[in-house]
Structure 1
């Protein structure tokens, strides 16, 4: 249903699953395992996996905190997009990477739910992409000291409002990692 012409393909985004980003993340190990399962399914179905990697003053490029968690390994030939803003599209080559592969539907995983995940979901949606959030494959750290809800509530709320997201010619949705399938019936899992 994407509004992007001639873009029938799907890609998985793995956003910011870096040591320094998820060191204190809610349900870190379970989320990493779910992302690994999603990546395995994508690879088995020849669905592109695109790795998004953030850097800034607190997450310097090439530092240990900047590196992806060791449980998730990018394969040769899988794209990596380097970003400096929450929205993975902003001032990056993500759009070009996706256009080259004819992608109009994104399956989104990663961190942090209340920052880069939400920004990227909305960025994709406003650019014409369909965007499915894997409901148990995104996480955030505890920011209650700043007035935010507890991480499990941030995740639950994001899943709730993204589940029925729609606009003319586009749709969002959520799916659990175990229920995600790729192929002609991917839209049936939304």
Structure 2
């Protein structure tokens, strides 16, 4: 089997209930991400954390050097797990993520984190375009209610639409339970 890495995307304090940009289901998604994190660590597989920070103090969330921009305590990295700092939706853009993965011979990415409709979508599509095999753990991702042109879109619908699109052409989309039971 090709070498795999768990990519923990933007599970940061501002996305939780007391943060500046809370997501629907952030706690449950983080709990499932922890299950994957534990399994990858136990298996000795690679883990890479992604941390988003905007470059301006005027940002709505993830402001530079803020408590909200820190990784959530549930998923704090170990010393041997790199944290990639990014400033864009796409985790590969202007970061060393691809170099970290290529240096370890990683061919398969397992993606968890937030937000389903932004950074999960961005990393999944970019990774597929770069030739990686990608699995998204849908119940280890979270998003929020959106609005478009006067239409309110509940988070569950946003999430379902993006997981469906990613599953159509970019990734295998499975639950944490399915993945941990061996459906990889």
TM-score by length of 1: 0.85
The corresponding residue for 2:93 is 90
Which of these residues, 98, 115, 119, is aligned with residue 118 of structure 2?
Answer: 115
What RMSD over aligned residues (CA atoms) do the two structures have, in Å? 1.9
Match of 1:61 among 59, 64, 80: 64
Q: 2:180 & 2:73 partners in 1: Cα distance?
A: 25
Partner of residue 10, structure 1: 4
Matched residues in 1 for 2:132 and 2:44: separation? 20
**C-alpha separation in 1, matches of 2:7 and 2:90:** 12
- Give 1:149's aligned residue: 153
Between the aligned partners of 1:121 and 1:149, the Cα distance in structure 2 is 22
Write the deviation string for residues 30-89 of structure 1: whole angstroms up to 9, x where unpaired.
Answer: 111000001001111111110000111222232101111122221111011010010000
Unaligned runs of 5+ in 1: 2-7, 167-171
Aligned residues: 174
Which residue number in structure 2 is paired with residue 33 of structure 1? 31
Q: Distance in 2 between matches of 1:21 and 1:54?
A: 11
Q: Give CA deviations for 1:3-54 in whole Å, capped at 9, x if unaligned.
A: xxxxx21001111111113441111111110000010011111111100001
Provide runs of 4+ in structure 1 moved above 3 Å.
Answer: 145-148
Residue 165 of structure 1 aligns with which residue?
Answer: 169
TM-score (norm 2): 0.87
- Secondary structure of residue in 2 paired with 1:141: coil
Matched, 1:20 2:14: yes
More RCO (CA 8 Å, sep 6+): 1
